[in-house]
Amino acid sequence: MALEFTDNNFQETALAGGVTVVDFWAEWCGPCRLIGPIIDDLAAAYDGKAQIGKLNVDENPEVSLKYGIRSIPTILILKDGEVVDKQVGVTSKAALEAKITSHL
């Protein structure tokens, strides 16, 4: 199961180091619902290797604003707290796996 990132826990969880994948999403977003199960699958597949989670943009505006999220879904890959890759819009599980693996 994917982690749940929030404005309150983002600093100590997502920016703690290593590779972190953040899916910026919202309940009303159709494309976000398509990518949600992929994020859950990746969280299980990369357990212990990378932190993978979701951040609801409606409930957590501070982090969304900090990273300039204007379209959802947007997936950021962070390494040691720095953005190293970005995916805007729906993509395949294989494409996300390739991006994650390249930063491990």
26-75: pLDDT as tens digits: 999 999 999 999 999 999 999 999 999 999 999 999 999 999 999 999 99
Question: Does 18 participate in catalysis according to the annotation?
Answer: no
Res 16: pLDDT = 87
**Percentage of the chain exceeding pLDDT 70:** 100
Res 23: pLDDT = 98
Question: Does 32 participate in catalysis according to the annotation?
Answer: yes
Give the confidence band of 13 by pLDDT, cuts at 50, 70, 90.
Answer: very high
Q: Which of 14, 22, 29, 96 is catalytic?
A: 29
HEC per residue, the chain? CCEEECCCCHHHHCCCCCEEEEEEECCCCHHHHHHHHHHHHHHHHCCCCCEEEEEECCCCHHHHHHCCCCCCCEEEEEECCEEEEEEECCCCHHHHHHHHHHHC
Q: Which of 2, 22, 32, 75 is catalytic?
A: 32
Domains of the chain: 3-95 (3.40.30.10)
The mean pLDDT of the chain is: 96
